[in-house]
C-alpha cells in the first residue's frame, strides 16, 4: 500500500501527534509499505525534515498558545498537500485534538473521496464533544458521572458535590483540566478551561481505579489499568517516562472484565465510532464503572494504551497499524 501518515497540526496535542507518527511511519515501512509523512501544519516532509521532527519527543507541557497561533496563521498544508494525498491508497490519521480529531479533517477527506483511518466526521465530532457524548452514553445505558455546563456558580455545583472536575468540553490529554475542591477555586478553574474551548464542563469527580478498553473492529481488547501517583492521568503522566504504569490485562475478576468490555463496546457503538477507539473508565470503591470519555483517535506510539491492549491480545504494533489501514480501505469500498 501507499500510505500518507497525516500528523502534527496546530492543536495543543501537536507533540503527542508527532510522537504517534514517529512510530507508525517506521512500523508501516518495516512491513514494506510506501509511506509519506505529511505534517498538517507544514506539509509533506523531506527526509531530513522528517528525521528532525519525528525525533523531538513530547515536552512536559503542551505547546504554548503563541507557538500554535503562529502556526495556525500560516497553516495551508492540507490544501497544499492535496496532490500528495490523492496519490495514496489510505491516509493514516495520527492526529490528536483540534481539527484533526473533531471531524473537520475527516470531512475534508470525505469530500475528496479518500480512505482514512479512524471514524467518520460525524462520529469524530460527537466523540470530541464531551457533553454530547455523555448524553449518548446515558441513552445507551452506559453509566457516566453527573455534569453541568458553564456558566455555573458555586451554588449550582453543590448538587454534584466537591470535588468536581472542570475541563474544556472539546479537548483531550487533560489539557486545561482542574480538580476543584472548594467553591473559591471554581472561578479560576473555569477561566483556565475557557482558554482552550468556548464550552466548559463541570463534572462530578469519581475517585477510584483508572481503566481503559480498546475497541478494534467491533470487539473489545483486554482491559488495561493505569497506575499513577496523582489523582488524575494528566498530560505529564501520560507522556513523560515514568509518569504512569500500565497493566494489561488489568487485575479484575472475569465477570467484571466482561461487564466493562461490554460497556465499552456499547459506548463505542452509541457514538457510531469506526474501526477502532479507546474508551476510558473509572471504577469506584463499590466496584461500579463510570465512563469518562471516548477517544476516536487514541495515541499510537508502541507504548500507548491501545497498542498495549492489542499486544495483550497477540497483535504486535506493526500488524495493528497495517490492520487499521486495511480496515479503512475496506470501509471506504463499502460506502
Residue 278 a catalytic site member: yes
Contacts of 70 (CB under 8 A, 6+ apart): none
Minimal CA–CA distance to 300: which of 279, 280, 324?
324
Catalytic residue check, 11: no
CA distance 52 to 86: 26
Q: Are 319 and 307 in contact (CB under 8 A)?
A: no
Quick check: is 173 catalytic? Answer: yes
Which residue in the list 12, 129, 280, 322 is annotated as catalytic? 280
> Residues 15, 50, 129, 293: which is the catalytic one?
293
Question: Is 280 noted as a catalytic residue in this protein?
Answer: yes
Of residues 11, 81, 133, 173, which has the active-site annotation? 173
Q: Which of 124, 295, 296, 304 is catalytic?
A: 295
What are the distances in angstroms from CA 59 to CA 13, 18, 241? 11, 11, 11
How far is the C-alpha of 124 from the C-alpha of 193, rounded, in Å? Answer: 21
CA atoms within 13 A on the CB side of 313: 20
Distance CA 243, CA 211 (A): 16
Are the C-beta atoms of 213 and 258 separated by less than 8 Å? no
Q: Active site residue: 12, 13, 15, 50, which one?
A: 13
CA-angle at 11, arms to 89 and 113, nearest 5°: 25
List the catalytic residue out of 9, 43, 176, 299: 299
Return the closest-CA partner of residue 126 out of 293, 240, 289: 293
Cα separation of 316 and 171, whole Å? 29
Active site residue 203: no
Asked about 299 being catalytic, the answer comes back as: yes
Per-residue b or e along 137-173, where b marks 16 or more CB atoms closer than 10 Å to that residue's CB: beeeebebbebbebebeeeebeebebbbbbbbbbbbb
Residues carrying an active site annotation: 13, 173, 239, 278, 280, 293, 295, 299
Amino acid at each position: 500500500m501507499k500510505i500518507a501518515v497525516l500528523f502534527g497540526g496546530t492543536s495543543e496535542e501537536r507533540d503527542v501527534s508527532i510522537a504517534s507518527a514517529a512510530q507508525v511511519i517506521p512500523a508501516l515501512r518495516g512491513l514494506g509499505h510506501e509511506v509519506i509523512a505529511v505534517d498538517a501544519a507544514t506539509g509533506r516532509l523531506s527526509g531530513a525534515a522528517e528525521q528532525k521532527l519525528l525525533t523531538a519527543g513530547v515536552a512536559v507541557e503542551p505547546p504554548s498558545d503563541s507557538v500554535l497561533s503562529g502556526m495556525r496563521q500560516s497553516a495551508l498544508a492540507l490544501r497544499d498537500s492535496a496532490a500528495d494525498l490523492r496519490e495514496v491508497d489510505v491516509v493514516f490519521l495520527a492526529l490528536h485534538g483540534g481539527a484533526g480529531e473533531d471531524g473537520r479533517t475527516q470531512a475534508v477527506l470525505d469530500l475528496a473521496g479518500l480512505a482514512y483511518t479512524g471514524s467518520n466526521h460525524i462520529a469524530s465530532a460527537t466523540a470530541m464533544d464531551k457533553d454530547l457524548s455523555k448524553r449518548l452514553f446515558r441513552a445507551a445505558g452506559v453509566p457516566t458521572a453527573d455534569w453541568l455546563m458553564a456558566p455555573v456558580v458555586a451554588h449550582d455545583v453543590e448538587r454534584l458535590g466537591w470535588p468536581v472536575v472542570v475541563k474544556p468540553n472539546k479537548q483531550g490529554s487533560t489539557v486545561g483540566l482542574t480538580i476543584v475542591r472548594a467553591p473559591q477555586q471554581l472561578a479560576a478553574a473555569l477561566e483556565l478551561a475557557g482558554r482552550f474551548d468556548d464550552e466548559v464542563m463541570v463534572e462530578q469527580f469519581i475517585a477510584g481505579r483508572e481503566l481503559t478498553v480498546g475497541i478494534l473492529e467491533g470487539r473489545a481488547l483486554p482491559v488495561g489499568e493505569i497506575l499513577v501517583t496523582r489523582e488524575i492521568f494528566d498530560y505529564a503522566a501520560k507522556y513523560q517516562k515514568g509518569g504512569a504504569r500500565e497493566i494489561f490485562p488489568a487485575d479484575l475478576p472475569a465477570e467484571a472484565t466482561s461487564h466493562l468490555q461490554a460497556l465499552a463496546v456499547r459506548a463505542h457503538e452509541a457514538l457510531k465510532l469506526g474501526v477502532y477507539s479507546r474508551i476510558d473508565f473509572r471504577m469506584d470503591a463499590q466496584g461500579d464503572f463510570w465512563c469518562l470519555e471516548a477517544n476516536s483517535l487514541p495515541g499510537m506510539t508502541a507504548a500507548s494504551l491501545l497498542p498495549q491492549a492489542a499486544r495483550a491480545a497477540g497483535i504486535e504494533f506493526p500488524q495493528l497499524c497495517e490492520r487499521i489501514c486495511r480496515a479503512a480501505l475496506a470501509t471506504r469500498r463499502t460506502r
